[in-house]
């Protein structure tokens, strides 16, 4: 039996994904010039996540703890998303849509 078959890894959640997603949506509202195709949005999302400190949780208590964002974390997420949006906008992985 494979290791991953022994445990329910779907219970492992990075709470930062929700915050990055919300921030990405917020920033794209004011950037009509940025491509919103699935490829570009997922590239922005992945790049921003790769530049934020993860906050994994597996329990309800962990979810409450992970949701406690301080000003530094909020700024980290805002900057990571801003940089990701700008980078993908300047260098999309597709030619044109």
pLDDT digits (tens, 9 = 90+) for 28-79: 999 999 999 999 999 999 999 999 999 888 876 655 665 566 888 999 999 9
HSE (side-chain half, CA atoms, 13 Å) at 92 = 14
Tell me if 41 is assigned to some domain: yes
Domain that holds residue 80: 12-90
Tell me if 85 is assigned to some domain: yes
pLDDT at 42: 98
Total domain count, the chain: 1
């Amino acid at each position: 039996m494979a290791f991953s078959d022994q445990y329910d890894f779907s219970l492992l959640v990075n709470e930062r994904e929700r915050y990055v997603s919300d921030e990405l949506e917020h920033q794209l509202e004011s950037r009509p010039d940025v491509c919103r195709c699935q490829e570009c949005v997922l590239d922005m999302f992945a790049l921003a996540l790769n530049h934020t400190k993860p906050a994994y949780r597996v329990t309800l208590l962990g979810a409450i703890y992970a949701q406690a964002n301080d000003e530094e974390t909020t700024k980290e997420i805002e900057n990571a998303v801003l940089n990701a949006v700008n980078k993908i906008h300047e260098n999309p992985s597709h030619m044109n849509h």
